[in-house]
Structure 1
Amino acid sequence: MTHAEYPWLLPSDLAEAADPDQGGGRRRRTVRDWAVDTVGFVFAALVAIAVARTSRQLNESDAVVLVDRILGVTAAFALWARRSRPAATAIAVAVLGVVTPATGGAVMVCVFGAAVRLPPRRLAAVAGVALACGTLQGFTRPDPEIDPLLALVVNLVLLLLVTGWGMLVRARRQLVAALRERARRAEAEAGLRAEQAQRAAREAIAREMHDVLAHRLTLLSVHAGALEFRPDAPPAEVARAAGVIRDSAHEALQDLRQIIGVLRAPEDREDGSGDRPQPTLATLDTLVAESREAGMAVVLDNRAGDPATVPAATGRTVYRIVQEALTNARKHAPGAEVTVSVRGRPGDGPGAGLTVDVSNPPPAGPVPHVPGSGQGLIGLTERATLAGGRLCHGPGPRGGFAVRAWLPWPP
């Protein structure tokens, strides 16, 4: 909120609007309030002195001059109560003005204060009383040197001027209050957006950690379980399983180190600016080869064309979908052949986009229990939805399990 955005506001108003702690309720009298009230008091007192001198020049009695002075001073002192009781003060001063014109200055100040603080209906009533009392004063204390009609017109114009001025001040203060509330609301919304962004970042990191580590740790669990249940396995098979365990543990450690690095370094984003390159569709062959080395039978049918033409975010999503599907197949259908099919083309028409199918038949023998969180497919569905696509999964027509996803491929 700057002066360039709201040039009609004073710098103090902008500061008040920017500070939510100063708004609302009945506030203490500030230095500016004391200065304004003092100026109003002096103005009302000077008007009372001038009217008393005029009364003496018109050869009115000393009692009338004394009454003018007393009522003028009383009206001037009554101005100090106009902030807490604007309507009552204005009406009381206006009634005093019926018998003496010495309260004219105080009436104008009170009407101005009422216009600043009262709603339109109450202000109209106060201004009507002030106008009526000013009209009656023309009959009770007429000025022989001024035409009564002219005095009535002058009184009406002055009341309209001070009322309009007060309403303008009231409108500006309402604008300041609205800006103050807007600033408070904007601050609260900014905090809420920051919390939502932090929550979204944590959820994204949690999904990425699950997708990355579940594949590696499943390899560890499967091969460690094989070594546990087959202690009499040939040395070559034991050595191969131990090598897979070692490589999977190393890769899991590297992946975990990368995720922790993203948490510590904000510049490491998914655009590939981290220490390790992010997986894409081009690295899908490496993932399949790694699964084959771990003992899985995987058939890859990649008809998506040049992987370099696929957007990095889309390729990364395809990689995570296949990775999670292979992990689930390794856990729940060991020994079954897994078929991975990727096909598609860029564009917006029918048949455009990337389609990923991962399916496997039911396992031939008993399935060892491998613990899992059960959140992998849920995370894949959410990841595909965030990418603008869709994902479905379930038992295949001949048993087994199938995962099918479609992702947009912009031209």
Structure 2
Amino acid sequence: MTRTERQRWLLPSHLVEPGESGAARPRRTVRDWIVDTSLFLLAALVGLIAADAGAEYSSEPVILFDQLAGAAACCALWLRRRWPVGLAVGLSLLSVVAPVAGGAVLASLFSVAVRRPFREVAWIGALAVAASTVQVFIRPDPTLNAGIAILLGFVLILLVTAWGMLVRSRRQLVEALRERARRAEAEAELRAAQAQRLAREAIAREMHDVLAHRLTLLSVHAGALEFRPDAPPEQIARAAGVIRDSAHEALQDLREIIGVLRAPGENGDGDRPQPTLATLDALVAESREAGADIVLELDVDTAEGEPAVPASTGRTAYRIAQEGLTNCRKHAPGTKVTVTVSGRPGEGLDVTVHNPAPAGPVPHVPGSGQGLIGLTERAALAGGRLEHGPAPDGGFALHAWLPWPS
């Protein structure tokens, strides 16, 4: 038995989805057949007891009518799922002259209480009580007091309808819990997908910030070797050394990022220290060795007793300066670049990268602009802001402010 078949066997027919044709008529499951058969047998048993009790003081035609009416009422119960309200009304009216239909009436009232709202259950129950009361006077039982008979009929109808409403409430609760579980599962899948997307974006930004700087150095020096094959051997050797070191650093940075994706316990080289503000001098020195003219102005309060720059803030500042130098090398080669870092605890950390307009034509270097977008997102995630655009002198300026708690 498949999972779907088990669910259909366990669910009541009014909770089973309609067929492909879209018909509203519920499908009778194995469970429904068991319940309907049990109710049919129970109603038949009650009818036989009532018929046997009334046979002592009824005539032959009345006994025959009771038998036919009881059989018809019990057989009509097989329609209770399709027409519960109409069946309950008809059986209630029939029970006025045929006490043997009492069991079928109770079964139909139970079905109405399970499938219909309280307003319909209330007026159908009131009709059944009225029919039971009238029956006491039309078909009285000589062995039972009229008041007791009326009270007994009222109590039985009340118990059956209350039981049916309890079953309805329980089914609605179960369905609500299932729907809540399905919704929670869908939300969990959505959150997982969103977390994966954010992780991919973070890794993509990190790869861009790290590798763009190294690969730009490779491109610049490889281009110099291509267009100046007659350069002195010393310059060629220095350019080749920069290319070799940049390729090695790019490979190391790539290993570091890939290490984040490894499962816990796997060996790798992902335990290298992350760059901070203290390693900014090394970044500038590396760019100077590549031939860039860079002025670094560092004015950060490091007095004794003052809190140091947080590691996350320093790392963000490093990445901003790195991306700024990479863009200057790509779009304004040969210009004098000024990197300014200043700040105080409680005031924040300011990072500015400025370059004037290049004097001559600039070779086209492909770029998607994703670096500045990634830096803006990185600064926003750190609680700061980033601005970039043309400078008044015709050059380009990149400025970021990052929080530095006191």
Q: Normalization by structure 1: what TM-score? A: 0.85
**1:143 corresponding residue in structure 2:** 141
Change beyond 3 A, Cα 1:262–1:80: same
**1:393 corresponding residue in structure 2:** 388
**1:321 corresponding residue in structure 2:** 320
**One of 215, 220, 236 as aligned partner of 1:238:** 236
Superimposed CA distance per residue, residues 29-54 of structure 1 (whole angstroms, 9 cap, x where no aligned partner): 44543443333223212211221222
**One of 276, 283, 298 as aligned partner of 1:280:** 276
**1:5 corresponding residue in structure 2:** none
Superimposed CA distance per residue, residues 179-226 of structure 1 (whole angstroms, 9 cap, x where no aligned partner): 222222222222222222222222222211111111011111111222
Change beyond 3 A, Cα 1:86–1:273: farther
**1:132 corresponding residue in structure 2:** 130
Q: Do 2:350 and 2:399's aligned partners in 1 also have CA atoms closer than 8 Å?
A: yes
Q: Does 1:369 align with 2:364?
A: yes
**1:255 corresponding residue in structure 2:** 253
Q: CA deviation at 1:359?
A: 1.3
Superimposed CA distance per residue, residues 274-300 of structure 1 (whole angstroms, 9 cap, x where no aligned partner): 233222222222111111211122222
**1:209 corresponding residue in structure 2:** 207
**Please, what is the CA RMSD of the aligned residues?**
2.8
**1:409 corresponding residue in structure 2:** 404
Counterpart mapping for 1:192-231 below 5 A: 192-231=190-229
Superimposed CA distance per residue, residues 241-298 of structure 1 (whole angstroms, 9 cap, x where no aligned partner): 1111111112122222333333344679xxx992332222222221111112111222
Q: CA deviation at 1:97?
A: 0.5
**1:383 corresponding residue in structure 2:** 378
Q: CA deviation at 1:338?
A: 1.8
- CA distance in 1 between counterparts of 2:33 and 2:243 reads 81
Q: Does 1:51 align with 2:47?
A: no
Q: Does 1:299 align with 2:295?
A: yes
- CA distance in 2 between counterparts of 1:410 and 1:72 reads 87
Q: CA deviation at 1:310?
A: 2.9
- Alignment-mate amino acid for residue 166 of structure 1: G
Q: Does 1:336 align with 2:335?
A: yes
Q: Do 1:23 and 1:177's aligned partners in 2 also have CA atoms closer than 8 Å?
A: no
Comparing 358-367 with 219-228, which one deviates more in the overlay?
358-367
**2:22 corresponding residue in structure 1:** none
SS of the aligned residue for 1:309 comes to coil
Q: Do 2:307 and 2:345's aligned partners in 1 also have CA atoms closer than 8 Å?
A: no
Change beyond 3 A, Cα 1:409–1:28: farther
Q: Do 2:384 and 2:400's aligned partners in 1 also have CA atoms closer than 8 Å?
A: yes
SS of the aligned residue for 1:363 comes to coil
**1:7 corresponding residue in structure 2:** none
Q: CA deviation at 1:313?
A: 2.4
- Give % identity: 66
- CA distance in 2 between counterparts of 1:90 and 1:346 reads 80
Q: Do 2:258 and 2:270's aligned partners in 1 also have CA atoms closer than 8 Å?
A: no
- CA distance in 2 between counterparts of 1:126 and 1:273 reads 77
Q: CA deviation at 1:395?
A: 1.6
- CA distance in 2 between counterparts of 1:211 and 1:364 reads 27
- Alignment-mate amino acid for residue 317 of structure 2: V
Superimposed CA distance per residue, residues 331-382 of structure 1 (whole angstroms, 9 cap, x where no aligned partner): 22222222222222334xxxx2222111122223432332222221111112
- CA distance in 1 between counterparts of 2:300 and 2:82 reads 78
Superimposed CA distance per residue, residues 80-103 of structure 1 (whole angstroms, 9 cap, x where no aligned partner): 322232112222221221111111
- CA distance in 2 between counterparts of 1:236 and 1:308 reads 46
- CA distance in 2 between counterparts of 1:371 and 1:403 reads 20
Comparing 282-291 with 188-197, which one deviates more in the overlay?
188-197
Q: Do 1:16 and 1:180's aligned partners in 2 also have CA atoms closer than 8 Å?
A: no
Superimposed CA distance per residue, residues 101-125 of structure 1 (whole angstroms, 9 cap, x where no aligned partner): 1111211111011100112333234
- CA distance in 1 between counterparts of 2:173 and 2:155 reads 27
Q: CA deviation at 1:169?
A: 1.0
**2:286 corresponding residue in structure 1:** 290
**2:41 corresponding residue in structure 1:** 42
**2:159 corresponding residue in structure 1:** 161
Q: Do 2:300 and 2:342's aligned partners in 1 also have CA atoms closer than 8 Å?
A: yes
Q: Do 2:16 and 2:27's aligned partners in 1 also have CA atoms closer than 8 Å?
A: no
- CA distance in 2 between counterparts of 1:327 and 1:60 reads 108
- Alignment-mate amino acid for residue 196 of structure 2: Q
Q: Do 2:255 and 2:270's aligned partners in 1 also have CA atoms closer than 8 Å?
A: no
Comparing 193-202 with 207-216, which one deviates more in the overlay?
193-202
Q: Do 1:221 and 1:370's aligned partners in 2 also have CA atoms closer than 8 Å?
A: no
Superimposed CA distance per residue, residues 61-91 of structure 1 (whole angstroms, 9 cap, x where no aligned partner): 1332232233223322322322232112222
- CA distance in 1 between counterparts of 2:206 and 2:156 reads 74
Unaligned ranges ≥5, structure 2: 1-5, 19-24
Change beyond 3 A, Cα 1:145–1:410: farther
**1:185 corresponding residue in structure 2:** 183
- Alignment-mate amino acid for residue 193 of structure 1: R
Q: CA deviation at 1:132?
A: 3.0
**2:118 corresponding residue in structure 1:** 120
SS of the aligned residue for 2:368 comes to coil
**1:6 corresponding residue in structure 2:** none
Q: Do 2:46 and 2:103's aligned partners in 1 also have CA atoms closer than 8 Å?
A: yes
- CA distance in 1 between counterparts of 2:32 and 2:227 reads 88
